[in-house]
Copies of this chain bind each other. A is one copy, B any other.
Amino acid sequence: MANNPLFPEDPDDTRAAIMEATFDALAEHGYSDLTINQVSQRFAKSEGLIFYHYDGKDEILLELLKYLLERVQKGRLPIADDVDPETRLRALLDNILPTGDEHQKRDYEKVLVELRTRAIHNEDYRECFNRSQMGFRESVREIIVAGIESGDFREVDPDSVADFILALVSGEIFDRITVDRHRTVRTELDDYIEDRLLAVEES
């Protein structure tokens, strides 16, 4: 519970408190073993209050998913649009693949993968992830299109590059929390930008 920046420290904010308890319980137990009781153990108020607000596990988790996607979106550093496309692309990747507090990041990624696996069989989760992934994809695509127009990038296919970067970010997170791999793709991703995207300077 200690100072997770995703959750404001306002004792009167019942929703945020339920969200934080749910987040912590999900990170610890995983979706299939999660019970409302585990959530309420992390929640200062009574279990009845949780049931009063939410009608079961998926309802509370969908709420958590929406809450997280909103917070993460808001928490991202704004990317100036008056800088060159290469700088914008690297700033976007800094936002999406942040370094920083390892423990909190790991919990966030665990929770994200647990919820996203739910999207295989549940349309409500799928819709949330469709929206968030398509938003990210569109941001990448726009930057690539701008870079081609300005002559900073080569004549690549913006859709293919956007899907490629999307898959790379998803895979980085999925690999990091499901197998013992401690390296990051970021260095090679920067080299990909350099060798594949940047226009070759004329000599």
Which residues of A are at the interface with B, using a C-beta cutoff of 8 A? 29-33, 110, 113-114, 116-121, 126, 129-130, 133-134, 156-157, 159-161, 163-164, 166-172, 174-175, 177-181, 183-185, 187-189, 191-192, 195-196
Report the minimal beta-carbon distance from A89 to chain B, rounded to whole angstroms.
Answer: 15
Complex Cα gap A160–B164 (Å) = 17
Residue of B at shortest CB range from A191? B196
Number of copies of this kind of chain in the complex? 2
B187–A160 touching, CB < 8 Å: yes
A164 and B168 contact, Cβ closer than 8 Å, known pairs A113-B117, A126-B180:
yes
Please give the distance in Å from A152's CB to the nearest CB on chain B: 16
Q: Known contacts A33-B121, A160-B188, A168-B171; can you find 18 more A-B pairs with CB under 8 A?
A: A113-B120, A114-B120, A119-B178, A120-B178, A126-B179, A129-B179, A133-B179, A160-B185, A164-B188, A164-B189, A167-B168, A167-B174, A168-B168, A169-B171, A170-B170, A192-B192, A192-B196, A195-B195
The answer to whether A29 touches B121, judged by C-beta atoms less than 8 angstroms apart, is yes
On whether A117 and B171 interact (CB within 8 A), knowing A163-B185, A164-B189, A188-B161, the answer reads no
A sample of 13 inter-chain contacts (CB < 8 A) reads A29-B121, A116-B178, A117-B178, A119-B179, A157-B188, A160-B183, A160-B191, A163-B184, A163-B185, A167-B185, A170-B175, A192-B196, A196-B196
Residues of chain B lying within 8 A (CB to CB) of residue A195: 195-196
Q: Contact: A133 with B181, CB < 8 Å?
A: yes
User: Do the beta carbons of A181 and B164 come within 8 Å of each other?
Assistant: no
Chain B contacts for A161, CB-based, 8 A: 188
Set of chain B residues within 8 Å of A33, measured between Cβ atoms: 121
- Kindly report which residue of chain B lies nearest to residue A34, judged by CB atoms: B32
Distance, CA A161 to CA B196, complexed state (A): 14
